[in-house]
Amino acid sequence: AVMLNITPDHLDRYDYKMQNYINAKFRIIRNQTPEDAFIFWQDDPVIEAQLRQITIEAAKYPFSEHMEEEAAAYVDTLDNLIINTPRTSLEMPRKDLSLHGLHNLYNSMAAGLSACLLNIRKEDIRRALEDFEGVEHRLEFVADIDGVRYINDSKATNVNSCWYALESMPLGGNVILILGGKDKGNDYSEIEPLVRDKVKAIVAMGLHNEKIVEFFGGKVPVIRDTHSLQDAVDACAALATAGDTVLLSPCCASFDLFQSYEDRGRRFKNAVKALKK
């Protein structure tokens, strides 16, 4: 069983009670025995707090960005990814991972631990981590138009996913961030520090943008209020200059204007590509 993190999401399905959501997530370990493995992010405060309250039968394999006590996967002081299990150990330079960003480091650790515990050959694990291609709609590069990079992160349907997308962006305040959709009880304070450091403009895209406009008002130089994808893309193109990144990472579900996050992402890509014509 693998648990990457627990952050508020879908709370409308759990009576808006975070503990109900946590309990549902932890059902994944219900049938585990001492012969099984539980892989999890060691530094997630929600997971850590829950682990103090329950008993787990399975062997625990935590992972962390840096070396910590009991960590089975981490990055050492030489920037090497280290994975240690009773069956297999693996070491490789972090720079050789095909996917960049902190969230992808954690994903790689969880996948690497799983593969080591399943006795996959080291060379196959290493090759997979070096060659794996990212999924559609998750930090997906769309196009470079007049020096402006367009990134489709439509799969970011909650605030924490957007946090990881912004974390992977360079410093410099050159991000134009598209937010909005069906709000699921979002708390935007989680991304506020990254928005202040990296975002030059927010383009709200949804039927009801009041919460976004109110929360980020005065925290970014520019906010645009739009109610269709085409208007949002046009606003981004007007605001962007060479060196900027337009990032669709909405924090919200897509069902106000779209059939799904996939529909939202594909329509975003089509609108961006149309800018070239």
Mean pLDDT score, 187-214: 96
Domain shared by 68 and 178, yes or no: no
Total count of domains within the chain: 2
| Residue 183 predicted with pLDDT over 90 | no
| Residue 277 predicted with pLDDT over 80 | no
Mean pLDDT score, 151-170: 92
Residue 13: half-sphere exposure toward Cβ, Cα within 13 Å: 8
Where does a domain end: 131, 164, 191?
131
Where does a domain end: 109, 131, 153?
131
Domain shared by 110 and 43, yes or no: yes
The predicted-structure confidence for 71-111, as pLDDT tens digits, reads as follows 999 999 999 999 999 989 999 999 999 887 788 899 999 99
The CATH number given to whatever domain includes residue 114 is 3.40.1190.10
Identify the CA nearest to 136 among candidates 277, 266, 257: 266
- Show the domain range for 60: 2-131
The predicted-structure confidence for 28-65, as pLDDT tens digits, reads as follows 999 999 999 999 999 999 999 999 999 999 999 999 99
The structure's pTM equals: 0.69
Domain shared by 170 and 227, yes or no: yes
Mean pLDDT score, 7-30: 90
Domain shared by 53 and 27, yes or no: yes
Note the pLDDT of residue 19: 94
Non-local (6+) Cβ contacts of 33 within 8 A are 57, 58
Domain shared by 62 and 155, yes or no: no
CA separation for the pair 155, 261 (Å, rounded): 6
Q: Read off the tokens for 45.
A: 């405060």
Domain shared by 25 and 147, yes or no: no
Where does a domain end: 82, 105, 131?
131
